[in-house]
């Protein structure tokens, strides 16, 4: 019996129409385009302005884009993993609603939350389900409406985040392509440095928590940056060493799009030339769970069957890691 590996066979994406540029942010908080660009690499981000639409709307659009491009019948999808840090509501899984709305009524679905590492962790989970032999088509969606938890009077965070969604389909592969190796880690020390303090079981929602603005994301930027640079780079370097890969063997680095300086540090540790490092942070900012699939969507036309692709991410918690995939198809 041939060994089953789990390969990405299709990609989809969606970003809202409204563009929140650095110039617009200059009118909202004490900041400027040069300061933002120099420190983050971000020029603009997309925002879902409709107050009646949540993360599920973004996810549905990305899934529909994937199914249309790959001619996938939603009834053939076995399961859906919804990677997100901004579920539509605390109870009632966003992924379950998305599955129903796209017509994937034969699939079971659930949400996976690991902050900015949600999609990376979801890749590991989706691949494991496929490799088990029990599931043939696993849809992994990464989507976040970060504008719903950002304080647009806080210049430290409002410049970073945007809204968006991306999706990939994992299917069995018998050529040795797909997911080859992974290195995933976490450390609870991060709970103090990147969080939404209220709204959970520890500090339930009250009038006071709302008045004190404790339902928006806050972070200790310097500490998060330090941990992110070290851990993303370490994980990526370890994946290379463990699989006897040199910088010449790597075709593409797909890094989490949180900060250009973090991406540059990871690429430098891997000794990769700039042309192999895929970035769209200047156009979308940090879309949290959506960054990795949005990069795949934007650069899918460059990938060739057999390419060695390294994924890396870092998120609140702290959560981080790296995944090595052999790309399974040439884009038609």
Active site residues: 116, 256, 286
- H or E stretch including 233? helix 221-242
Q: How far is the C-alpha of 294 from the C-alpha of 69, rounded, in Å? A: 15
**Is the sign of the CA dihedral 248, 254, 255, 258 positive or negative?**
positive
Hey, which bits of 91-198 come out as E strands?
A: 108-112, 138-145, 163-173, 178-186, 194-195
DSSP state of 47: E
Residue whose entry in the numeric block shows the structure tokens 């840090």: 85
298 closest CA partner among 19, 39, 15, 38: 15
291 closest CA partner among 263, 313, 307: 313
Q: How far is the C-alpha of 164 from the C-alpha of 293, rounded, in Å? A: 10
237 closest CA partner among 306, 180, 316, 321: 321
Query: Alpha carbon of 329 to those of 92, 128, 139: distances in Å?
Result: 36, 20, 17
Indicate the SS3 state at residue 203: coil
Are 229 and 318 in contact, with CB atoms under 8 Å apart? no
Are 180 and 307 in contact, with CB atoms under 8 Å apart? no
Both tokens of 169, joined, read 């389909």
Are 7 and 179 in contact, with CB atoms under 8 Å apart? yes
């Amino acid at each position: 019996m041939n060994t089953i590996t789990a390969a990405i066979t299709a990609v989809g994406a969606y970003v809202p129409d409204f563009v929140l540029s650095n110039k617009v942010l200059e009118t909202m908080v004490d900041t400027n385009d040069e300061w933002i660009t120099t420190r983050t690499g971000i020029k603009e981000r997309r925002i879902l302005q409709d107050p009646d639409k949540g993360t599920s709307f973004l996810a549905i659009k990305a899934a529909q884009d994937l199914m249309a491009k790959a001619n996938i019948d939603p009834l053939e999808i076995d399961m859906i993993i919804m990677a997100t840090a901004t579920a539509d509501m605390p109870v009632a899984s966003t992924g379950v609603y998305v599955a129903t709305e796209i017509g994937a009524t034969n699939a079971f679905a659930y949400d996976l939350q690991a902050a900015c590492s949600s999609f990376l962790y979801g890749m590991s989970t989706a691949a494991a389900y496929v490799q088990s032999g029990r599931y043939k088509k696993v849809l992994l969606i990464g989507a976040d409406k970060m504008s719903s938890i950002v304080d647009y009077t806080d210049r430290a965070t409002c410049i970073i985040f945007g809204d968006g969604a991306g999706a990939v389909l994992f299917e069995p592969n018998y050529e040795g392509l797909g997911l080859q190796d992974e290195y995933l880690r976490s450390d609870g020390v991060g709970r103090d440095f990147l969080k939404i303090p209220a709204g959970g079981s520890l500090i339930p929602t009250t009038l006071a928590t709302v008045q004190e603005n404790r339902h928006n994301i806050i972070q200790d930027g310097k500490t998060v940056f330090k941990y992110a640079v070290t851990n993303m780079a370490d994980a990526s370097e370890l994946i290379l060493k463990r699989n006897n890969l040199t910088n010449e063997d790597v075709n593409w680095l797909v890094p989490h799009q949180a900060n250009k300086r973090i991406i540059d540090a990871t690429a430098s540790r891997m000794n990769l030339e700039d042309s192999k490092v895929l970035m769209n942070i200047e156009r979308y900012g940090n879309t949290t769970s959506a960054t990795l699939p949005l990069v795949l969507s934007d650069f899918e036309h460059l990938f060739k069957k057999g390419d060695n692709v390294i994924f890396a991410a870092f998120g609140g918690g702290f959560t981080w890691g790296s995944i090595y995939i052999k790309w399974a198809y040439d884009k038609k």
